[in-house]
Structure 1
Amino acid sequence: MASAAFEEIVEDFEFLDDWEDRYRHVIELGKAMTGLDAALQVPATKVDGCASQVWLHPVIEGGVFRFEGDSDAMIVRGLIAVLRALYNDLPLAEVAAVDARAEFGRLGLNDHLSAQRSNGLRAMIERIRETAAAAA
């Protein structure tokens, strides 16, 4: 079961009929997200495999997974916001159980991202999963 924050995004998407509106909504989610401090935008937090610049900074406390992120591309920043809704506040042991591809499929995002964006999304998900597994 996805988090309440992710379910809210799913509900929002149900009211948006065309892909253009959904795309704009993802961008708005990214704009609303607090950016990652420039001091944390370093090689160690940079995600390889993304066409744009992407940084993910894990914050793990008390066995609970969270991350902050940022990108120089607005749509990618929105994808980070969606990933945060999907993964933040999960116990470390539950991160690997999330089927992000299926959850993004519920939003229709799998079918509407370019190949480069899809590769970048996979790289972000892989980084999240690896980080949580290493901390568990």
Structure 2
Amino acid sequence: MNLPVNAQEALSSFEQAAGWEQRARLLMQWGERLAPLSEAEKSEANRVHGCESQVWLVAEQQDGQWRFKGASDARIIRGLLALLLIRVEGLSSSELQQLDLPGWFNQLGLGRQLSPSRSNGLNAVLQRMAQLAAGT
């Protein structure tokens, strides 16, 4: 499967990271790249349930491709969210539903760092994306 440009960039930077310290720093940097959400976008309707941290997700579809914006109050989650968003950038609804999320984070070398609650939270985000893409 072809990766979006930003996802390819992330993958190569994470592959070059020497260990968890460097990956954690990269994670924070990717999190800082997230475009901020407006206060209006941080509404209850956009909040993702199933995450221990506060996470918001906003979706719009352009020409059959999905664009997502997200935010979180937790730095690690913000970084993971950023990496998830660049991975799904421009996917169609069916591609979104077939995404192997654990596989993507394993490729980045982050799979082992995902605690069950973080993993559940990211799956909740992915499920929410799929729901939005399915129009539910």
What TM-score does the superposition give when structure 1 sets the normalisation length? 0.92
Q: Identify unmatched segments of 5+ residues in structure 2.
A: none
AA at the equivalent of 1:79: L
Count of matched residue pairs: 135
Bigger shift: residues 38-47 or 126-135: 126-135
* Deviation by residue 1:29-59 (Cα, 9 ceiling, x = unmatched): 1112211111111111100111110000001
Distance 1:122 1:91 in 2: 18
* Deviation by residue 1:80-122 (Cα, 9 ceiling, x = unmatched): 1111110111223321122122111111222112222111111
Distance 1:15 1:108 in 2: 10
What TM-score does the superposition give when structure 2 sets the normalisation length? 0.92
- 1:96/1:133 contact within 8 Å kept: no
RMSD over equivalenced CA pairs, Å: 1.4
* Identity score, percent: 38
The yes-or-no answer on 1:39 pairing with 2:53 is: no
1:102 maps to: 103
Q: Identify unmatched segments of 5+ residues in structure 1.
A: none
* Deviation by residue 1:63-93 (Cα, 9 ceiling, x = unmatched): 1101111010111111111111101112233
- 2:102/2:111 contact within 8 Å kept: yes
1:113 maps to: 114
1:18 maps to: 19
AA at the equivalent of 2:101: A
2:4 maps to: 3
Distance 1:104 1:90 in 2: 17
